[in-house]
Amino acid sequence: MKLASVAASAPAFAGASFLVDFEHGWDYLSGDVDGYYSGGTAADGTSGANLGVAFINVSGLSNDPAFTPPYYSGAPSMLGTAYAHTFGADDRAFMNVAAGVDNALSFFYASPQSITGAVRAYSGVNGTGSLLGSFDLLANASNAYDAWTRVTFAFTGTARSFDWTGSANVVGLDNIQAIAAPVPEPSTVLLMLLGGAAVLRQATRRGKTG
What is the percent of the chain with per-residue pLDDT over 90, rounded to a whole number? 62
Q: Residue 45 region, left (φ>0) first, then alpha (ψ -120 to 50), else beta?
A: left
54 phi, psi to nearest 5 deg: -120, 150
Instruction: State the sign of the Cα–Cα–Cα–Cα dihedral 22, 28, 33, 37.
Output: negative
pLDDT at 12 over 70: no
pLDDT of residue 180: 76
pTM summary value: 0.79
Give the lowest-confidence range in 17-21, 67-71, 121-125: 67-71
Q: Higher confidence at residue 84 or residue 183?
A: 84
Average pLDDT, the chain: 83
Q: What is the pLDDT of residues 151-209, one digit of tens each?
A: 999 999 999 999 999 999 999 999 999 987 665 555 444 444 455 445 445 544 555 55
DSSP designation for 147: -
Q: 20-35, pLDDT tens digit by residue?
A: 999 998 887 889 999 9
pLDDT at 37 over 60: yes
Q: Where is average pLDDT lowest: 42-56, 67-81, 109-123, 191-205? A: 191-205
Give 88's strand partners: none
Are 77 and 42 spatial neighbours (Cβ–Cβ below 8 Å)? no
